[in-house]
Amino acid sequence: MRHELIGASIMQYATKWLPGLIKEGSGLAEDGSNSSNSNGSSSWRGGLHMIIAGSGEEIPTVQAKDQRMIVESLISILPQQKDSVSCSFLLRLLRMANMLKVAPALITELEKRVGMQFEQATLADLLIPSYNKSETMYDIDLVQRLLEHFIIQEQTESSSPSIYPFPDKHMHDGSQRGTNLNAKMRVARLVDSYLTEVSRDRNLSLTKFQVLAEALPDSARTCDDGLYRAIDSYLKAHPTLSEHERKRLCRVMDCQKLSVDACMHAAQNERLPLRVVVQVLFSEQVKISNAIANISLKDAGESHYQPLVSHHKSLLEATPQSFQEGWTAAKKDINTLKFELETVKTKYVELQNDMDNLQRQFNKIAKPKQASAWTAGWKKLSKLTKTTNVETHDISSHIPNAEQTTKPRRWRNSIS
């Protein structure tokens, strides 16, 4: 039989005999594909003894031991070919296998099967609770193992040569590399969404977050907006992180891969370390400088690079309006600050010159005053001395004979 038919039969059998395998409001179609109802509910039914919604007919109770035997049997007869069953079915089967404590070897085999088509998984299927009494709400280690199996499978497919139906092998090699890259990009977006969801758990350690974020190579992410969203969510849920831990957390993100909107948000995010904010602003400034330089070069050689100029104009037109308005406002603020700084400089120079002039005038005025005070004092003294001398001379000139005549007489009379 074809492996697709075997897989569809297994999925139909599991839907009938493992009622805890299906999700509420969803079921499996006749061809084995997953079909959901109009409300789009993705919540899981709890427990092992279920009633199918809408049927009103209770499924016979099956003990956990019998369910474990059914799950182990289904895992052992799964076809080895890829895409025999959907990745969503494999993850639901893996969820039930962990809940029923299936043999570890079979769980490892099932994990490898999920890793083969991990790019087809959804976020709701990855949110598997931790049944091993772990500190975290979700089984982070399980997702880490699935991601490792996916990376190993991708490396094996890219390195193993095989016979292709294409006439040109180089053409197929290029298409295969493109397919692998697209798969890695889808897995990277899935991992970023998963990290955003589980980062709200306060028991999630920084090491587990960092290991899961750095599991994929750098080429898998062309944009780190999803990773930045997960980091911001982790910082919100863990406000007591130290400065060193926040820097360590932000190392998993490349600031040069952030979009314009993410850079605008990061520049105003108080939860990020100051060094990361500076790196974001610097990388954005470098991008703007390179864009301006390219525009000037293309304008200089417009006749030779007309198609590139038009393409760059289309890219500029596709720039978000919010960024253009923010950049124009920032340029206006920068110019205003420059003008104010220049005016302050000129006023400072003018005040300095005025102060120098006043100092010189004060020095000129202060020196003559001091000299005049001393000279005025000496002049007054000299005048007083002159006047006294003149008066005495005048008096002596008027009364010299009388004194001379009388005094001897007096002395004579006294002697006598």
Band of the pLDDT at 177, cuts 50, 70, 90? low
According to the model, what pLDDT value does residue 343 have? 84
According to the model, what pLDDT value does residue 212 have? 94
- Most confident option among 128-137, 169-178, 260-269: 260-269
Whether residue 371 has pLDDT greater than 80 = no
Residue 167, token pair as written in the block: 């006439």
The stretch 92-97 carries a mean pLDDT of 92
What lies within 8 Å, CB to CB, of 57 at 6+ separation is 51
Whether residue 386 has pLDDT greater than 70 = no
Lowest mean pLDDT among 61-70, 133-142, 233-242: 61-70
Every domain of the chain and the residues it spans: 1-36+44-116, 322-393
Residue 27 DSSP SS3: strand
Q: For residue 95, which of 143, 144, 39 has the smallest C-alpha distance?
A: 143
- Pairwise pLDDT comparison (322 vs 187), residue with the higher score: 187
Whether residue 306 has pLDDT greater than 50 = no
According to the model, what pLDDT value does residue 322 have? 52
Q: What pTM did the predictor assign?
A: 0.61
According to the model, what pLDDT value does residue 300 have? 67
Band of the pLDDT at 58, cuts 50, 70, 90? very low
According to the model, what pLDDT value does residue 207 have? 93
Whether residue 414 has pLDDT greater than 90 = no
| DSSP letter string, 72-113 | HHHHHT--SSTTSS-HHHHHHHHHHHHHTT--HHHHHHHHHH
Residue 23 DSSP SS3: strand
